[in-house]
Amino acid sequence: MDETSQKLPASADAVLRQRRVELAREAFHEFRSQCFWFWKENPEISEETIPLIIRELRLNGGHRGYQVAAELCR
């Protein structure tokens, strides 16, 4: 294997993590009043907060929230 092919998975992983954080941010804003009313207005959403977002979507997000939570778990 050459050096470029070894770097590819790390780059792809970074892209997937960034997409997951973006999806969590979108979910936070979409479900703000339903699931996240107790959080501050514009929290810093990162990899560390995604499990909390998933939990609240599953508990209070209804069917659509559960679907988004499942997508965040991938």
Contact indicator for 43, 28 with CB cutoff of 8 Å: yes
> pLDDT tier at 9 (50, 70, 90 boundaries)?
confident
Query: What pLDDT shows up at residue 74?
Result: 86
> pLDDT tier at 1 (50, 70, 90 boundaries)?
very low
Domains in the chain: boundaries:
3-73
- Collapse the DSSP code of 9 into the 3-class scheme (helix H, G, I; strand E, B; otherwise coil) and give the result: helix
Query: What pLDDT shows up at residue 35?
Result: 96
What's the sign of the alpha-carbon dihedral 67, 38, 30, 28? Answer: negative
Residue-wise pLDDT for 12-55, tens only, equals: 899 999 999 999 999 999 999 999 999 998 899 999 999 999 99
How crowded is residue 31: how many other Cβ atoms within 10 Å of its Cβ? 21
